[in-house]
Amino acid sequence: MEPLKILISVGDECVSGLLLRPAEAKALYLFGHGAGAGMTHKSMVANAEGLAARGIATLRYQFLYMEKGAKRPDPPRLAHAVVRAAAAQAALLAPDLPLFAGGRSFGGRMTSQTQAEAPLSGVRGLAFLGFPLHPAGKPGVERAQHLARVQVPMLFVSGARDALAELDLLRSVIAALGERATLRVIDHADHGFRVPAKSGRTSADAEAEALDALVDWIGARV
């Protein structure tokens, strides 16, 4: 299955997008990429294809800096504009599908910040594949303060060894959010859902578990 290539207008600029919609799609996931890897990175491709095999359509998109080939992520103001434009495009491309939003790491955090500022039209929930709660080696919860203003359901899929989300801190954040937040921990996995060989499982197993958690959570809300 080949994705549909699209352009998304963001003010006077445009970013690229890829819509992958299986025949029996039951929802659409707006899928933002991480800070260091764009929408065509092998992990993003594998995740999108894995979700398609599970009946979830995806709209991947580039942030402005990635579209231009720059290394430094956009400031929040620009990133939020891209998320909002991509969400509007998703609603136009698949008006018949329930819409969820989020992404890997940076993409998920920019989506939650955008939602906290003003709800994204039609988005039923946010799902994060590795929410970057804090920089590596600098534990803290400041990056989670805006989540209290998000009023839709949220799913946090996190590796037990995620250096950007110490599990005790993440659990405390999710407990404070109450019933609208759900945590799924992937045993032995790091921020990118990679696992050590001594764990007795493969990184592909961990990725599959993460995608299954996302699909089950979406399915319960469709």
Q: pLDDT tens digit string along 114-146?
A: 999 999 999 999 999 999 999 999 999 999 999
- Please, what is the angle between helix 106-117 and helix 76-93, to 10°? 90
The CATH number given to whatever domain includes residue 198 is: 3.40.50.1820
Segments in the chain below pLDDT 70: none
pTM > 0.85: yes or no? yes
**Number of domains into which the chain is organized:** 1
Read off the pLDDT of residues 173-184 as tens digits, 9 standing for 90 and up: 999 999 999 999
Cα–Cα dist 192/175, whole Å: 24
Q: Return the amino acid letter for 4.
A: L
Contacts of 9 (CB under 8 A, 6+ apart): 85
Domain hosting 90: range is 4-219
